[in-house]
Structures are given as structure tokens and as C-alpha cells.
Amino acid sequence: MQEVKKPRKPLIYYYAIVLAVLLLFNFLLMPWAAERQVQEVGYDTFIEMTEKEEIGQVQINQEDNEVIFTNKDGDKIYKTGMVEDPGMTERLYASGAKFSGQIIEQMSPVLSFIHRRFQ
């Protein structure tokens, strides 16, 4: 008697499973892990670290109303909300921190009008 062999599943089936697992990993675990690395602190901690020259790099995001910064070693990332602070750039420059801001592009008047009308 001959033994009946089951047909083998196509290779694309296994590729689809691997792709699904990778997508789940990228969309669920990676953002969660990245968010866990950023520590939210108060603006007073930001000022204190600046005065003690413990800040390495600073990214000022006016559109998102936040300041993201690292310690001097660059191994910890912090974020805080923006506060009206006219002396912030002078303190950052005096502390030796590298800092930059976000470039906010403005719409042309025609696009701005269209955007407001259909929103």
C-alpha cells in the first residue's frame, strides 16, 4: 500500500506569518519601548539641570509645546512642557548645551484660506 502524502504549504504562507510577527513587533512593542525611555519632568528640573550644566542637547518644539533634552552623557532623555521664558536661549548658550528649534513652515494665504473654509 502506498502512503498518501499531505501537500506541502506554499512558501508564501511562512513569509506571511513572519511578516505579520515583524509588523506586530514594530507597531506595538517598539513605540512602547521608545516611550518608556523618555522621562517627563517639570520645567524647574530643566532650569536646574541647565544651571548645573548637566544638559547635553535640547530640541525645542514650539508646535508640540514641548522641550526634549538629554543629560550631558546623552544616555537619558527628558521632556517638559514649554513655558514663556525669554532667557532660555541665553541660559542654554551659557551652559554649553547644543540646542535647536523646530522650523514651522507657514502656508500661503490662498492655502490658508482654503484650509480654513473646508475644515
The Cα–Cα gap between 22 and 106 comes to 38
Is 10 part of a structural domain of the chain? no
For 51, the domain range is: 39-117
Cα separations in angstroms, 103 against 4, 6, 23, 66, 106: 68, 61, 32, 14, 10
What is the CATH number for 85? Answer: 3.30.720.210
83 within domain boundaries: yes
Cβ atoms of 59 and 100 within 8 Å: the answer is yes
Count of structural domains within the chain:
1
What is the number of residues in the chain? 119
pLDDT at 92: 87
Residue 4 lies in a domain: no
Q: Is residue 13 part of a domain?
A: no
- Number of Cβ atoms within 10 Å of the Cβ of 55: 23
| Whole-prediction pTM | 0.56
What would the pLDDT profile of 81-108 be if each residue is shown by its tens digit? 988 888 888 888 888 888 887 666 666 6
Tens of pLDDT, residue by residue over 13-64, are 889 999 999 988 888 777 766 666 788 899 999 999 999 999 999 988 888 8
66-77 pLDDT tens trace = 998 988 888 888
